[in-house]
Amino acid sequence: MGKNVTQKVLESHMVSGETVAGKECKIRIDQTITQDATGTMAYLQFEAMGVPRVKTKLSVSYVDHNTLQYGGFENADDHRFLQTLASKFGIYFSRPGNGICHQVHLERFGVPGQTLLGSDSHTPTSGGLGMIAIGAGGLDVAVAMGGGPFSLNYPKVTLVNLKGKLKAWVSAKDVILELLKRLTVKGGVGKVIEYGGPGVASLSVPERATITNMGAELGATTSIFPSDAVTKEFLTAQDRAGDWTEIAADADAHYDETIDIDLGKVVPMIAKPHSPDAVCKVEELEGMKVDQVCIGSCTNSSYRDLMLTSEIFKKGGFKVHPEVSMTISPGSRQVLDMISLNKGLSHLIEAGARILESTCGPCIGNGISPPSGAVSLRTFNRNFEGRSGTKDAKVYLVSPEVAVAAAIYGVITDPRKLGKYPKVKMPAKFLIDDSMVVPPAKDPSKVTISRGPNIQPLPAAAPLGDSLKGKVLIKLGNNITTDDITPAGTWLKYRSNVPKYSESVFSAIDAKFHEKAKAAGGGFVIGGENYGQGSSREHAALCPMYLKIKAIVAKSFARIHKDNLINFGILPLTFANPADYDAIAADDELEFNNLKAGLHSDTITLKNVTKHTEIKLKHGYSPRQVDTLLAGGTLNYTTAKGK
């Protein structure tokens, strides 16, 4: 039997394990990326391992989240720390202003057939080039930089069979929104979403990257396209033809499931508040007043996206509606340079758009928060409640085409009403200027790492005992996000100061949570389905660990967050019977006994001391994960193995 693209890349990188869905395996990592919201902690962890130089083919440290450097010295100090550490340890450093990590990596570094591990959940963007690109916690990335393999459950592979061609005013964003509508935010768990079929050839690499980027919202391990003539054309235009290799599924390749999408039947779609899978057709919401429109983020900030936006304004003679605030965030300096040279930037300015820096910006709540109760249409990938910085804002996720139509008319409008669709051709040659990517020092001994006062020592976890006791500090519902656990926005400047950042834990739900946790000496958290979805930020595990949270008991967990909890010695446990969720209340006293035996048998008994009841729990850990938890987390486990 032939192999699919996923199998070909994964199996060429296998270190150990079985190629059986659900079984743990280890793969070799070729490249890593970090960004400044997760990178400082990842590099502190890398330092703690005592490895003198990264062992990957390529590692890149990007600054793209906190480039405003607002409110004090913290962000600027951390960026100086990141640059000096990168220089010393053999890591390339992408300076503030060079662009969003996923867009820049797609343009300048991604290589078909290689593996990429990134401390950001949208690392699968590079799957648009034919890479196995996986988001993970910073500690997993640190281990990979040190030469260690990455552990994952071998995935099922879902084929999304594309046929036909997108019609005018319909884009790649509508394709992934259609898939989210069908599968939901949990539909990709344990799977790689692989795209194939004759329709693939009609999609450019930036369009493919839009689709793989938002595959993270499906909960998928990653998403991937084949590497074909379109990929070669893109890499040649980036002056990287030598990086291209063809990767295609065999004619008799097997897939665990197949989903058919006729591109010609896809229509403009929109995700309603407050979830990326709350999707409907744009025409169903036409006429709704819009207060804000934002185009950008790692999902839709390519040259193609912004030139299309510009051309719509130019050819129609349109202006931004007087009651709408519109912003544009170019994905990279390359994109910004090229739309400027092609006069696309001036057309956007003339239309009344506000031009922001080439960063994540409003996507993570760093600036451009909507007014109270406002409707904001964004080409971003997430619309969780409060993520924009405004708790009661209503954020909708859309394509650039839908965003422009709303900006022009001031209400949600089907873009097919805008007339003739502008044609934007991919450049035969992109503008190449890598001067804002700083290579590492040739002589590391001459580099002194700069550390500001906000950089605090890495907290350590103690080995797991055989029993745990404590109170339920908070009980939560379904789809709790890592933004709910440790919010982004203005809190991100404390990413290298865990004692301070821990004050944010669940702050939007219970402002006194951190005080309660400290007073109780730690305790437990109860959650519903899909606990920890969203961003890969490991602080959502690291900060609770600092607050001595000992276990999270939920109906189910998002993949990256479950791994992060294990990395930091917190037990992620699931109810054997989901109905038992109702048998535990906030402030109940809980007790776990005989934990070591339970970890090895996958059956743990939880005693609710308050209600005098017992509940059966399960975990599904691999032997490696059991050993990791017993050691008190991955850093302890890795360090012990190295001795």
Whether cis (ω within 30° of 0) applies to the bond prior to 122 is no
pLDDT, position 642: 58
* Active-site annotation holder among 13, 65, 95, 387: 65
CATH architecture of the domain with residue range 468-642: Alpha-Beta Barrel (3.20)
Q: Which of 13, 79, 382, 619 is catalytic?
A: 382
Tell me if domain 5-264 and domain 468-642 are identical in fold.
Answer: no
- Assess whether pLDDT exceeds 60 at residue 643: no
Active-site residue, 580 included: no
Which pLDDT score is estimated for 258? 98
Determine the topology of domain 271-416 in CATH.
Answer: Aconitase; domain 3 (3.30.499)
Active site residue 416: no
Measured in degrees and rounded to the nearest 5, phi and psi for residue 640 equal -65, -40
Q: Is 64 a catalytic residue?
A: yes
Q: Is the pLDDT of residue 232 over 80?
A: yes
The whole-angstrom separation of Cα 410 and Cα 501 is 39
Q: pLDDT by residue (tens digit) across 185-216? A: 999 999 999 999 999 999 999 999 999 999 99
Cα gap 175→260, rounded to integer Å: 11
Check 13, 537, 561, 619 and give the catalytic one.
537
Q: Which of 148, 53, 152, 35 is nearest to 94 (CA)?
A: 35
**pTM score, whole prediction:** 0.93
* Inter-residue contact 245 to 211 (CB < 8 Å): no
For domain 5-264, the CATH superfamily is Aconitase, domain 3 (3.30.499.10)
Q: Is 535 one of the catalytic residues?
A: yes
pLDDT at 623: 92
**What are the extents of the domains in the chain?**
5-264, 271-416, 468-642
What pLDDT score was predicted for residue 309?
98
Say whether 78 is catalytic: no
- How large a percentage of the chain has pLDDT more than 70? 99
- The active-site residue out of 30, 36, 61, 64 is 64
Q: Which member of 120, 277, 291, 580 is catalytic?
A: 120
DSSP string of 127-153, one letter each residue: GGGT-EEEE--HHHHHHHHTTPPEEEE
pLDDT confidence bin for 603, thresholds 50/70/90: confident
Mean pLDDT of 266-283: 97
Question: Contact, 361 vs 378, CB < 8 A?
Answer: no
If you average pLDDT over every residue of the chain, what do you get? 95
The candidate with the shortest Cα–Cα distance to 592, out of 614, 568, 570, is: 614
Q: How many residues does the chain have?
A: 643
Active site residue 561: no
- Which pLDDT score is estimated for 366? 86
Pull the structure tokens for residue 309: 């936006």
Distance CA 572, CA 511 (A): 24
What letter represents residue 487's amino acid? P
**Strand ranges for 106-199 from DSSP E:** 115-118, 132-135, 150-153, 156-163, 191-196
Q: What is the pLDDT of residues 410-427, one digit of tens each?
A: 999 999 999 999 999 999
